[in-house]
Structure 1
Amino acid sequence: MTMLPTPASERVGPAFSVDGMLTARNKTRQAIADVAAQIRPGMVEEDAVQLAKQTLIDSGMALSWHPTRVRFGANTMKPMRQPSEPGVVLGEHDIFFLDIAPRLDAWEGDGGKSFTVGANEDHARCARDAEALFHDVRGVWQREGLSGQALYAYADRQARALGWELNFDLPGHRVSDFPHAAIHTGSLADLQTRPSEMRWILEIHLRDPQGRFGAFFEDMLLGNEHYV
């Protein structure tokens, strides 16, 4: 059987390793959990960012190819490239998310997740829906083999059906041995072919249509065996 050449969008660098990528991913997910467990109402967002950075360093990872982000309250609405409003304090009934992109040796990690404090059901539903929509889209990718463009069109329809807006300023991207930008810089939402496993980050950023808050979840596109 003739092997097709790897598309330019899915090439990897010389240090690429399945074990390395999975280890970086698992340490990234653990760091997110560790940071979130230390965040409390009354904390200032900038202090949470410093906490996240130190947690990554303490875990043996390097701060990597985009800023370490923790966003509180109204800042969860903002596109990632837009800086947070300074001095935002996490309220008693509030929402926050982490978005980190550390590097473990030669391999990139990237992960994000939303959390809530107190008892605001709208916040809690948005956080649940962001993660659930990630897995919904991931399931469609597995079952139907859709292109990156079609996956994000599907995500947009589903987000609207849930009562949220999907932020297309976060359109998914490559992940690889560092730096992936030397290999490919295009977004997942622009990819006209089916994305391969362990090559792409699927990003879901839901925003409240009233402009009050948002929720975020991201991870590598992987099979179900990695989500037990």
Structure 2
Amino acid sequence: MDVAEAERVSALLAAEANAVGLFDEVVARGIIAPGARESVVSDPAKLALRDALEPFWEQGRAYFDAHPDITGDQLYTWVAEQAAAQGWELTAAIAGHLVGEFPHKQISGTELTSYVAAGSTPPMRRLDPKGRVCHWILEIHLVDRANNIGGFFEQLLDIRPAA
């Protein structure tokens, strides 16, 4: 990994850590209380959804890691199939996307190949148009239609903090 890529990876990991810190601060100030409200704590369906999201995401990362030539289409198909097998409905046409330069900036191009989605056939492990390694966010959107509830979990897919 060259210096520019190492700095880019470091910045992405720092941004993810900052997002977690921001979320923790919002919870600490009582602005939101995920999973702590009485209606969640006493509702088995809500608890099941809350408790399924991160492990499901981790399973998706493990699947990505185990398939070096995986495409966005293949990962999306796996996510959709696993959601159904685990009793959930996948609620989005995508299960992730390329990481942009800045938060909320338009992803490089509008092509399907910028997403973890049906029909995205290039390998996810590739270079972007600028010759840089593509980095990805894996997004898990699950719904329990019978109970009219849904949840969402996303993180960087292909890079991790140093152990």
Q: Please give the range of the TM-score, normalised by the shorter of the 2 chains.
A: 0.7 to 0.9
RMSD: 2.9
Deviation at 1:209, TM superposition (A): 2.5
The 3-state SS of whatever aligns with 1:32 is helix
The 3-state SS of whatever aligns with 1:171 is strand
Deviation at 1:165, TM superposition (A): 0.2
**Regions of 4+ moved over 4 Å:** none
1:136 aligns with 2:59: yes
1:203 aligns with 2:149: no
- What residue number does 1:86 align with? none
- What residue number does 1:222 align with? 158
Q: How does 1:1-228 map to 2 (within 5 A)?
A: 17-39=8-30, 48=31, 92-94=38-40, 118-145=41-68, 146-178=70-102, 180-181=105-106, 183-185=108-110, 186-189=114-117, 190-196=119-125, 199-210=135-146, 212-223=148-159, 225-226=160-161
**Residues of 2 paired with 1:165 and 1:214: CA distance?**
9
The question of whether the paired residues in 2 share the 8 Å contact of 1:147 and 1:194 is answered with yes
Which segments of 5 or more consecutive residues in structure 1 lack a partner in the other structure? 1-15, 40-47, 52-69, 73-89, 95-117
Are residues 227 and 170 of structure 1, via their aligned partners in 2, closer, same or farther at CA, if it must alter by over 3 Å? farther
Residue-by-residue CA offset, 1:81-140 (whole Å, 9 max, x unaligned): xxxxxxxxx96313xxxxxxxxxxxxxxxxxxxxxxx22221111112121111111111
- What residue number does 1:63 align with? none
Q: Percent identity?
A: 27
Residue-by-residue CA offset, 1:49-96 (whole Å, 9 max, x unaligned): xx8xxxxxxxxxxxxxxxxxx9x8xxxxxxxxxxxxxxxxx96313xx
Which segments of 5 or more consecutive residues in structure 2 lack a partner in the other structure? 1-6, 126-132
TM-score by length of 1: 0.54
The structure with the greater share of residues assigned to helix is: 2
Amino acid at match of 2:47: A
Are residues 184 and 36 of structure 1, via their aligned partners in 2, closer, same or farther at CA, if it must alter by over 3 Å? farther
The 3-state SS of whatever aligns with 1:159 is helix
Tell me the matched-pair count. Answer: 144
TM-score by length of 2: 0.73
Are residues 150 and 176 of structure 1, via their aligned partners in 2, closer, same or farther at CA, if it must alter by over 3 Å? same
**Residues of 1 paired with 2:64 and 2:87: CA distance?**
23
Amino acid at match of 1:205: H
Are residues 160 and 38 of structure 1, via their aligned partners in 2, closer, same or farther at CA, if it must alter by over 3 Å? farther
Deviation at 1:227, TM superposition (A): 8.8
The 3-state SS of whatever aligns with 2:23 is helix
Deviation at 1:164, TM superposition (A): 0.8
The 3-state SS of whatever aligns with 1:29 is helix
The question of whether the paired residues in 2 share the 8 Å contact of 1:175 and 1:198 is answered with yes
